[in-house]
Amino acid sequence: MDSSSRFSSPSSSINSARGIFCSQSLNLRSISAIGYDMDYTLVHYNVKAWEGRAYHYCMENLKKLGFPVDGLTFDPDLIIRGLVIDKEKGNLVKADQFGYIKRAMHGTKMLSTRAVREIYGIELVDLRLEGRWVFLSTFFSMSEAVAYMQMVDILDDGVIPANLGPFDYKGLYKAMGVALVAAHVEGRLKSDIMSNPEQYVELDPELPFTLLDQKEAGKKLVLITNSDYHYTDKMMHYSFNRFLPGEMGWRDLFDIIVVSANKPEFFQMSHPMYELVTNEGLMRPCFKAQIGGLYSGGSANMVESSLNIHGDEILFIGDHIYTDVNQSKVHLQWRTALICRELEEELKTVAATNMDNENLSQSMQKLLDVMQILDVKIAPMLEADGDLFNKRWGYLSRADLWDKSHLMRQIEKYADIYTSRVSNFLYYTPFMHFRSQEQNLAHDSHTNYCSRVDKFPSNGKLD
């Protein structure tokens, strides 16, 4: 891409909804290879359509088992990414960066602040307790969460037939999960999507040129996806080939392609690797990947060995905070980037509600003089500001008026950089040096106001 088409300067994009945000300094000049996830990373779906279809098949399977699900519909506004299911209590909760629960919903009904305090007190969300907590880390979690919360309402109403057996909230989650998994395993869902990709895939014309830009800059590109070859080929062909020059196809962008990767185990241990040798999916065992090859299974160590590139020379970009970002960093010390499409809407919402700096300073001084009035009148206004993003849960990045959300804490801890979509890289040079913001301590500031209003992000930036 011509440099004149990029942002005039990196700083001019920092407040943009299409900007790239830095948690830990990252110099792209030191990156020799860039790995990509596919689903919701290189291929973005219409969430309402894709998850709505998954929900449809889940409910269809539950109905066959005898659950009274007639009349239920998919409501994507019921949840946001980063929430946590409490399988013991049938609740959906939003936790802050420390794990304290700030908001909660039982079934499809939001709980009052007092009820949340009475139920959870100072209890912490501990994601290591997988028997209780389920973290909603991707868009693929939406159909699961909506179906479960609606099923909780049905259980509470006492209308589940006795012959299906007694259920507690944890058992109900298991039954719902089996029905949802069946919807995927049966193949009907992906068959629908492959047959009508235009209904489910949101095209991004800049995306193929982003990868071409990186390739021309000398970066090795690797695709690592859990999807099978036939689905991957269909989605990538539909999303990329129409925008690529000449006879170039999507496979020409990548030095190595790995399908059915079985992440996160792909980053943790070695599995047999197979080379796909025909378009019909015929495979043969192999022990080392070659440049230009197409493979199924294997491991990240095999990819490193084939490219002769290791550790922090590799940047991996994906949408799943655990499967893509956490595991590649923890086990391999790869550098990481998280794709979080919701940032675009959130940052636009923040910008639309911001006061300019001059008005803010004047207002702050007045509010400092009338603190008691501030607490009564302004706090509800600030709380309502987050409702513009989601009326139930507020901003994705915040758990309360001032606190970062549990998801935001994970992003800052494991993702070196994060952005709303891969094509945002097109607006930066492939040799960009992303520098994290200066981390000030509380006692560093000599003009530290006591007002809680001073902590509210008024400039559209995520902390």
**Do the beta carbons of residue 305 and residue 288 sit within 8 Å?**
yes
pTM of the full predicted structure?
A: 0.85
Evaluate the omega torsion of the peptide bond into residue 245 and state whether it is cis, within 30 degrees of 0: no
The reported pLDDT for the residue numbered 405 is 86
The reported pLDDT for the residue numbered 212 is 97
Burial 157-170 (b: 16+ CB within 10 A, else e): eeebeeeeeebebe
Integer CA distances (angstroms), 373 to 326, 364, 428, in order = 44, 12, 46
Q: Give 273's strand partners.
A: 286, 297
Question: Is the CATH number 3.90.1150.10 carried by domain 21-45+202-339?
Answer: no
> In whole angstroms, what separates CA 57 from the centre of its chain?
23
202: Cβ–Cβ under 8 A, 6 or more apart, which residues? 44, 45, 46
Rounded Cα–Cα distance for residues 254 and 222 (Å): 5
The DSSP secondary-structure symbol of 326 reads I
> In whole angstroms, what separates CA 95 from the centre of its chain?
16
Rounded Cα–Cα distance for residues 274 and 282 (Å): 9
366: Cβ–Cβ under 8 A, 6 or more apart, which residues? none
The reported pLDDT for the residue numbered 318 is 97
Rounded Cα–Cα distance for residues 297 and 305 (Å): 15
The residues of the chain scoring below 50 in pLDDT are: 1-5, 7-12, 355, 382, 446-463
Comma-separated ranges of CATH 3.40.50.1000 domains in the chain: 21-45+202-339
The reported pLDDT for the residue numbered 153 is 96
Closest CA to 164 of 21, 68, 306: 68
Digit-coded pLDDT (tens) for 298-352: 999 999 999 999 999 999 999 999 999 999 999 999 999 999 999 998 888 776 6
Rounded Cα–Cα distance for residues 206 and 24 (Å): 26
Integer CA distances (angstroms), 302 to 66, 181, 265, 287, 309, in order = 47, 30, 13, 8, 10
Residue 300 backbone class (left: φ over 0; alpha: ψ -120 to 50; beta: rest): alpha
**Do the beta carbons of residue 343 and residue 425 sit within 8 Å?**
no
The reported pLDDT for the residue numbered 5 is 45
Q: Is the sign of the CA dihedral 103, 108, 112, 115 positive or negative?
A: negative
228: Cβ–Cβ under 8 A, 6 or more apart, which residues? 259, 260, 281, 296
**Do the beta carbons of residue 147 and residue 180 sit within 8 Å?**
yes
